[in-house]
């Protein structure tokens, strides 16, 4: 995909998608009409996660489980939802399947035990690290870092907005459409260098959740014309 092309997205792979965030996004996009492949290092884990989501859908055939490389190969667009410790190894394992595609990187560089402290990698952000690993043939877009997964599988309204930053306007436009289809409001946050803001905010939100004993602290843009979210 070149910077000015807008591809048609039919099949989405969620690599490392067996956790709650991955399954929540899988459910939202499958419900919106996409084919979704949940990926994992172990195909049994991927298929189990896919079966769990399928039970919530009117058409369970739209979701399946594969190993991470196979999921990435079969998809038009790939989403990465892994802990930061697995970030680079996972990227390297699927690199050959990503050429010409968009990668949505949901990874946040959390470094336990101090997860409420912002600790960015040498590349600047996880999204920038992904771009370095994958090269210019892949359009990396950072998004969904500030979304609490608790609401995604329950059809609850997500009050937190999504900041979308990435290596091309066309790629950001594609991701903003997917944000809308998942029932959220997204904003074009500019080039990939700006991903440091959304990623860093996650540690602050975790800290606020701990202070107030909640699990859904988020951000919301004000002073701008607010688009309507898809139901």
The 10s digit of each residue's pLDDT in 136-180 is 999 999 999 999 887 888 888 888 999 999 989 999 999 999 999
**Residues 6 or more apart whose Cβ sits within 8 Å of residue 55:** none
C-alpha to C-alpha distance for 116 and 55, rounded to whole angstroms: 35
Is 218 a domain residue? Answer: no
Is 37 a domain residue? Answer: yes
Q: In percent, how much of the chain has pLDDT > 70?
A: 96
C-alpha to C-alpha distance for 44 and 66, rounded to whole angstroms: 8
Range of the domain at 120: 11-212
Average pLDDT on 1-25 reads 84
Is 129 a domain residue? Answer: yes
Number of domains in the chain: 1
Is 223 a residue whose pLDDT tops 80? yes
The 10s digit of each residue's pLDDT in 31-78 is 999 999 999 999 999 999 999 999 999 999 999 999 999 999 999 999
Is 224 a domain residue? Answer: no
The maximal CA–CA distance of the chain, rounded, in angstroms, is 47
């Amino acid at each position: 995909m070149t910077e000015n092309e807008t591809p048609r997205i039919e099949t989405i792979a969620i690599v490392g998608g067996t956790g709650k965030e991955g399954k929540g996004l899988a459910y939202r996009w499958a419900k919106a009409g996409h084919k979704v492949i949940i990926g994992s290092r172990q195909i049994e884990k991927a298929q189990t996660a896919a079966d769990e989501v399928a039970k919530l859908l009117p058409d369970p055939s739209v979701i399946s489980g594969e190993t991470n490389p196979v999921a990435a190969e079969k998809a038009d667009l790939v989403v990465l939802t892994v802990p930061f410790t697995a970030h680079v190894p996972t990227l390297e394992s699927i690199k050959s399947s990503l050429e010409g595609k968009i990668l949505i990187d949901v990874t946040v560089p959390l470094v336990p035990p101090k997860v409420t402290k912002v600790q960015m990698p040498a590349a600047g952000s996880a999204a920038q690290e992904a771009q370095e690993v994958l090269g210019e043939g892949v359009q990396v877009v950072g998004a969904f870092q500030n979304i609490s997964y608790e609401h995604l599988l329950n059809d609850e309204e997500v009050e937190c907005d999504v900041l979308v930053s990435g290596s091309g306007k066309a790629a950001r436009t594609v991701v903003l459409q997917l944000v809308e289809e998942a029932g959220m409001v997204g904003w074009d946050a500019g080039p990939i260098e700006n991903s440091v803001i959304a990623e860093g905010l996650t540690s602050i939100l975790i800290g606020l959740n701990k202070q107030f004993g909640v699990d859904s602290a988020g951000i919301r843009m004000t002073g701008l014309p607010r688009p309507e979210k898809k139901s």
